[in-house]
Structure 1
Amino acid sequence: MKIKATLDKIPGSMMLFPLLLGAILNTLFPGTPTFFGSFTGALWQGALPILAVFFFCMGATLSFKSTPHILKKGGALLIAKIAVAAIVGIIVAKFIGNGMILGGLSVLAIVAAMNDTNGGMYMALMGQFGKAEDAGAYSIMSLESGPFLTMVSLGIAGLSGFPWQTMVGAILPMVLGMVVGNLDKDCREFFGKAAPVLIPFFAFGLGAGLDFKKVATAGITGILLGVAVVVITGSVLFLVDRLTGGNGIAGLAAATTAGNAAGVPAAVAAANPAYKAVAGPATIMVAASIIVSAILCPVIVSWYANRLKKKEKLKLQEQSGMNSIPTNDI
């Protein structure tokens, strides 16, 4: 059976299928990790440790010469995504304030869904269609994780700066990998080979934290929020990626909602009671956006990447044809 060859024909399959499998099993059999425990339970809930190892292995493939590119790309995408979430939130707030509209949609749900990128999806897509340097940019983009920047986007006052320990912790595995990989080319090759293998495992762990029942509860509104995340943030991030020297793939790959974003509404409500009434419905909306964006994003990235390949192929054929045209001596 040619399982991998078949899966490789499907956009982002090594990320998408394990993620969907995890979500299906968690929806139908939510007590599985507790029932089995041990290694099975750890795999079910172990996305973050596996991601840490993935970042280390990915870092080992990067040269120190790529550091400026990583800072530039990651910083640009990070600022762009936060800015889009804040602007959309401000516009919607003009009409509904801190309340909800029909279907349970709120400013909190919109900002939380748009503000945080699915790092696992981004890394998987960049591993398949992008560059290692662009994949490394997520070590900077990961600073958007958690409720802090969502609170900033919502204008909540009285918060201190982002904890330095968290910022260091976000980039430390990749930095250590870069050090090891640059010190020894054999280590670079050894750890670099492991990165793609880890993708389906952390994807399963991320999917095991999702519940399709919540998507059904969210209905058409939650689905539309997921589509909006892909379309609105994707359009802006695509332009930013192109303006910073990229081909647009990294920008499109970042147009998702992170799995941990589902916990942001409750955290925001705990910090500001004004959002307490909308936190529950917002959590459901964000959960729907996580799944919808995880399905749409790989399809769009794959389509665009194949389009770039076709253009490059045609360009090479044209150049080859021009070079083969005979010239007459005068």
Structure 2
Amino acid sequence: MKIKAMVDKVPGGMMIFPLLIGAAIRTIWPGLPDDTVFKSSFTGGLLTGATAILAAFYICLGSTIEFRAAGYVLKKGVSLWLSKIVTAAIIGFLIKFLAHDQNHLVLGLSALAIVAAFSDSNGGLYMALMGQLGKRQEDVAAYSIMSLESGPFFTMLILGVAGLAAFPLRAFIFALLPLIIGMVLGNLDSGMRDFLSKGKDVLIPLFAIGLGFGINLMDVFKAGAAGIVLGLAVVVVTGIVLYLVDRLVGGTGVAGVAAASTAGNAAAVPMAVAAVYTGYQSVAGTATVQVAAAVIVTSILVPIITAFFAKNAGGKRLHTAATAKDLHN
């Protein structure tokens, strides 16, 4: 059986399928977490230890982020990264000032789900698209800067600055520390980077099944439409912003469109944030499902839209080159 090949056909499949398996187990046996034998077993550790596995994941992820970045890579990466974060922050402020209940917005969306989905781009998708459609290889390398979005840190920062939640300073430090440890190890020793980076993909389905175990599948049906709307909003809003920013810094706009997605690991953020701020515990499960749905929607739409813009950008470049040649002749 080619299980992995089947899973890989679904965008974010390594995150989605284990998450649904964990949710199915929890839905069928809702009292399982209270079972003493279960809690003391390896199985219990796997299904309830998502936080520990996430910490290991962020160390591995951090090892792939390089401190060094050439001028073009730095300019491209920082501009797209800041644009993504600032857009999510503006949305956070709008929710703060316009919404009466941040946990129950339109279609049951919460500020937690919205900020988590908007503040983190799908790095694998971005690099794959830019590797095929990008104007230059440095467009791919720009994700070394953009990957700073990963993890709960910026979601917590945006929610805190917007006044939607309150976090102690040490919560930010502890949230960012695993990523920093990985970055330091990866930059000090390329061998450590090669070693740790291999664990990044392996840990995704392992923490996903634990995250799923905290979700009742009955909530999936309630969150389905909301997740689709959330994914569409991410593509449209961040797509427009990042396209314009990419054009402003000298790009074709293709890289900006390619980054208008939601990362698969963003589905882990609501639970991580709720572990620190109890005000989100009641919506963390639903937010996880909504963000997971947004991952799928953006993973399907972004490649199609990016290919469209890349084709048009290529056509314009060819037209410009042809015109210049005619003038020269």
TM-score by length of 1: 0.68
8 Å contact 2:123–2:263 — kept in the other structure?
Answer: no
2:187 is aligned to 182
**Distance across 2 between alignment mates of 1:202 and 1:128:** 24
Pair 295,109 (structure 1): closer, same or farther in 2 beyond 3 Å? closer
State the 1:125 CA deviation. 5.8
State the 1:74 CA deviation. 4.2
Q: How does 1:162-201 map to 2 (within 5 A)?
A: 162-201=167-206
State the 1:54 CA deviation. 1.6
2:233 is aligned to 232
1:276 is aligned to none
1:57 and 2:60 are equivalent in the alignment = yes
User: Letter of the aligned partner of 1:138 in structure 2?
Assistant: E
State the 1:39 CA deviation. 1.7
Pair 6,228 (structure 1): closer, same or farther in 2 beyond 3 Å? closer
**Distance across 1 between alignment mates of 2:105 and 2:82:** 29
Superimposed CA distance per residue, residues 244-297 of structure 1 (whole angstroms, 9 cap, x where no aligned partner): 544334332159764328949x844xxxxxxxxxx99xx45x643431331242
**Distance across 2 between alignment mates of 1:191 and 1:262:** 25
Superimposed CA distance per residue, residues 116-148 of structure 1 (whole angstroms, 9 cap, x where no aligned partner): 349999577668778652662224762323xx8
User: Letter of the aligned partner of 1:213 in structure 2?
Assistant: M
1:80 is aligned to 87
User: Letter of the aligned partner of 2:53 in structure 1?
Assistant: I
User: Letter of the aligned partner of 1:11 in structure 2?
Assistant: P
8 Å contact 1:127–1:135 — kept in the other structure?
Answer: no
2:286 is aligned to 288
1:142 and 2:153 are equivalent in the alignment = yes
2:137 is aligned to none
1:252 is aligned to 261
1:9 is aligned to 9
Pair 215,62 (structure 1): closer, same or farther in 2 beyond 3 Å? closer
State the 1:63 CA deviation. 1.6
**Distance across 2 between alignment mates of 1:61 and 1:186:** 11
Pair 191,128 (structure 1): closer, same or farther in 2 beyond 3 Å? farther
1:274 is aligned to none
8 Å contact 1:226–1:288 — kept in the other structure?
Answer: no
Q: Secondary structure at the match of 2:256?
A: coil
Pair 126,172 (structure 1): closer, same or farther in 2 beyond 3 Å? farther
Give the percent of matched residue pairs that are identical in Structure 1 and Structure 2. Answer: 27
- Which range moved further: 57-66 or 128-137? 128-137
User: Letter of the aligned partner of 2:155 in structure 1?
Assistant: E
User: Letter of the aligned partner of 2:67 in structure 1?
Assistant: F
State the 1:18 CA deviation. 0.9
**Distance across 1 between alignment mates of 2:94 and 2:215:** 28
Work out the number of aligned pairs and report it.
289
User: Letter of the aligned partner of 2:299 in structure 1?
Assistant: V
Superimposed CA distance per residue, residues 142-193 of structure 1 (whole angstroms, 9 cap, x where no aligned partner): 2323xx854664678xx6xx53322222322222222222222222211112
**Distance across 2 between alignment mates of 1:202 and 1:228:** 26
User: Letter of the aligned partner of 1:26 in structure 2?
Assistant: R
**Distance across 2 between alignment mates of 1:120 and 1:47:** 19
**Distance across 2 between alignment mates of 1:129 and 1:206:** 28
State the 1:88 CA deviation. 4.3
Pair 43,249 (structure 1): closer, same or farther in 2 beyond 3 Å? farther
Pair 241,292 (structure 1): closer, same or farther in 2 beyond 3 Å? same
2:22 is aligned to 22
List alignment gaps of at least 5 residues for structure 2.
131-139, 247-254, 322-328
8 Å contact 2:230–2:294 — kept in the other structure?
Answer: no
1:271 is aligned to none
1:40 is aligned to 43
User: Letter of the aligned partner of 1:297 in structure 2?
Assistant: V
Superimposed CA distance per residue, residues 191-243 of structure 1 (whole angstroms, 9 cap, x where no aligned partner): 11221111111111211111122345xx4xx5444334323344322334334
TM-score by length of 2: 0.68
